[in-house]
Amino acid sequence: MSAQDRPSLPLSLPTVSTSALRWRIRAVGRGPRSTRLGSLGLAIAGLFLGATKSEAQDVPVLYPDPGGVWEAFGPMAPSNAIEARFYDVKTFSSKDIWSVGSFKTGSVFTSMTHGWVMHFDENGTWNEVPIPVFPIQSGGSVRLEGIDGTSASDLWVFGSHDSSNLHPGPNSLPLVMHFDGVSWEIVSVPASPAGVTAVFLDDVESAGTDEVWFAGWGFAGVAVPIALQWNGTELVAHDLPPAFPFDRIARAVTIAGPNDVWVVGGGNVASQGYANAFSARFNGSSWTEFPVPQLGNQRELRSIAALSPTMLWATGEAKLQGGAGQAYDLRFDGSVWTQVDSLHALGNIRRTPLGTLRGTGRFASQYFSTGWYALEDFPATFGEQLPLASTRAVDGGADGSLVAVGFAFPSSGFVPVALRRNPDCAARTFDDGSDYPLDLDFSPTTGSAAGSVQLEGASPGATGIFVVSAEPGLLDLGFGNILVDVGPAASFLSVVSFDAGGLFSVPLSLDQPGIAGQSFYMQGGELGSTVRLSNGLHLLGCP
């Protein structure tokens, strides 16, 4: 984030340059945090001395989503379904959302699996979009697993169909369909490389009507990775770098730019019995394998997204000795992949049209300038309404809308889950589960838009600081956590005075001009013989 990207300050506060603050930190150096702070500059600098980023947690600190509050918005499963699931979503706007998955009819022991396409339209309703009927008799299956496209009249869907109800089964055939806004066309899938007897697809990404890529694998004695490219006329198979002695599967694909395509995945090392992750890059004429860091004794990359040709992220899972799972997240800087520490496990990741990088799974996540942060714990938030809810995919529209889909297991049989972000103005507090001596909140006076930000619980007449930032943060100070990003490009810092009752208050209206739709993370503290921090507060300006 550059300084010009920093949002307008929503409060009438005197500000201190955080660039100067950082200079003071370097000048003071590392001193004991328990000593009396002898000057205002030293007091402010002392907040950050020895600060470290917190370690990964099973349940990380949850921050309010910068774009609004998450809510469930249907749809219901088909009336004759015994279970239904969503696997992927494509969002063009808040009133143009497409999701694919499958549902089962019949009984638990004798069932048929049906492909399922649902469209959320301008009327605010979900409607099923019929797909071609496949000649399945005496059981069988059609399952749709991925969707992407450039518009509602240029959609690509993939999955598989089989005469049995196994997925994948020995007779499974790949299924690729294109929707032009009126009707579906089934597209022929080539087999490659030579000797492949079955093809299974795992991902699709579209950058235009003649630039669509699929990733998957084929079986030819061992699993071999496959990439398919739609060139405007037909699907063309690409042979990826040699798999032997590996069993390799291409799990995900992304288009980083013109003639710049990446696939990632994993596979077994046949002679050694463990799994290696891999990445390969296409430059328009040939593929090159790029080594990736290998964590644990089993690892696989399952998702990839590009912010630019020199800023890519890939995520997956690694298993350590004994089978324990661990987050496995990598970043490409234009030259090499490096492993990065994330505060929680990431699931499917995707770049939105607005240039943000989002992740989903158990948590809704976003990549900010200082790293990945969890913004929602879906099972915890929607557990009563949708028990064991889990999201499989996330996608955003050009209007800032964001949708995640997946499935839940209420009691018997899976049900589809669709969640969206409501962009209405909001004020929400947050913390890391610790007790903070100061309390920070928004107190409405007339409705939810007008009121005041109040920081209370300080010593009478004390001096304090107040930080307003565009992004969350997590710095461990030993006596508490800074929960906002204090970098100079993202934040404003103010020195404030508490009144005789230990209160600092400043008026604010969430619908005031200049902050429409803007997101602010805030935290305060009292400076004295010891530093006392508040919880965090997030404000979202009214759209």
| pLDDT given at position 513 | 83
Quick one: CA torsion of 328, 294, 205, 175, rounded to 10 degrees? -100
Q: Give the tens place of pLDDT for each residue, 85-124.
A: 999 999 999 999 999 999 988 877 777 888 999 999 999 9
Integer Cα distance of 475 and 521 in angstroms: 14
What is the model's pLDDT at position 193? 64
Q: What's the mean pLDDT in 217-225?
A: 81
Residue 390: the pLDDT is 81
Rounded Cα–Cα distance for residues 248 and 268 (Å): 7
Least confidently predicted of 225-229, 390-394, 526-530? 526-530
Helix (H, G, I), strand (E, B) or coil at 1: coil
* pLDDT (mean) for 483-503: 89
In the predicted model, what is the mean pLDDT of the chain? 83
Q: What pLDDT shows up at residue 476? A: 85
25 band by pLDDT with thresholds 50, 70 and 90: very low
Per DSSP, 286 falls in state -
- List Cα–Cα distances, 503 to 464, 465, 497, 532, in angstroms: 11, 13, 8, 14
Query: Which stretches of 29-127 are DSSP H helices?
Result: 40-46
**Is the distance from CB of 84 to CB of 77 less than 8 angstroms?**
yes
What was the pLDDT predicted at 364?
Answer: 92
pLDDT, tens only, 238-276:
888 765 556 788 999 999 999 999 999 988 765 555 578
The DSSP-derived string for 477-498 is -SSSEEEE---TTTEEEEEEE-
Question: Does the structure show a pLDDT above 80 at 190?
Answer: yes
Residue 400 has pLDDT above 90, yes or no: yes
Question: How far apart are alpha carbons 410 and 387 in whole angstroms?
Answer: 5
Task: Report how far apart, in Å, the C-alpha atoms of 66 and of each of 75, 344, 364, 470, 537 are.
Answer: 25, 18, 11, 9, 12
pLDDT digits (tens, 9 = 90+) for 455-476: 999 999 999 999 999 999 988 8
32 band by pLDDT with thresholds 50, 70 and 90: very low
Q: Tell me, what's the pLDDT at 16?
A: 45
Residue 524 has pLDDT above 70, yes or no: yes
Give the highest mean pLDDT range of 176-190, 311-325, 379-393.
Answer: 176-190
According to CATH, the superfamily of the domain at 188-341 is YVTN repeat-like/Quinoprotein amine dehydrogenase (2.130.10.10)
Q: CA-to-CA distance for 44 and 65, rounded, in angstroms? A: 28
Domain ranges of the chain: 3-63+427-540, 70-187+346-422, 188-341
pLDDT band for position 170 (cuts 50, 70, 90): low
pLDDT at 410: 79
Backbone dihedral angles phi then psi of residue 298, each to the nearest 5 degrees: -145, 130
Between 185 and 322, name the one with better pLDDT.
185
What's the pLDDT at 130? 93
Tell me the average pLDDT across 412-430: 91
% of the chain beyond a pLDDT of 90 = 52
Q: Given the DSSP bridges, would you call strands 96-106 and 83-93 parallel, antiparallel or unpaired?
A: antiparallel
Query: Parallel, antiparallel, or unpaired: how do β-strands 472-476 and 52-53 relate?
Result: antiparallel
Band of the pLDDT at 328, cuts 50, 70, 90?
confident
Mean pLDDT of 137-164: 86
* Rounded Cα gap, residues 28 and 74, in angstroms: 56
Predicted confidence band of residue 41 (pLDDT cuts 50, 70, 90):
very low
> 18-22, 27-31, 213-217, 361-365: which has the minimum mean pLDDT?
27-31
Say whether 43 sits in a helix, a strand or coil: helix
**Does the pLDDT of residue 499 top 90, yes or no?**
yes
pLDDT at residue number 149: 97
pLDDT of residue 31: 26
Average pLDDT for 120-129: 95
482 pLDDT band, cuts 50/70/90, is very high
Sheet holding 463-469, edge to edge: 426-430, 531-540, 519-527, 463-469, 491-497
380 touches 409 (CB < 8 A): no
Stretch 492-499: mean pLDDT, rounded? 92
pLDDT greater than 50 at residue 38: no
Q: Which of 132-141, 274-283, 437-446 is the least confident region?
A: 132-141
Token readout for 184 is 């579906």
Residue 6 pLDDT level (bands cut at 50, 70, 90)? low
When pLDDT is averaged across residues 333-361 and rounded to a whole number, the result is 88
pLDDT at residue 7 greater than cutoff 60: no
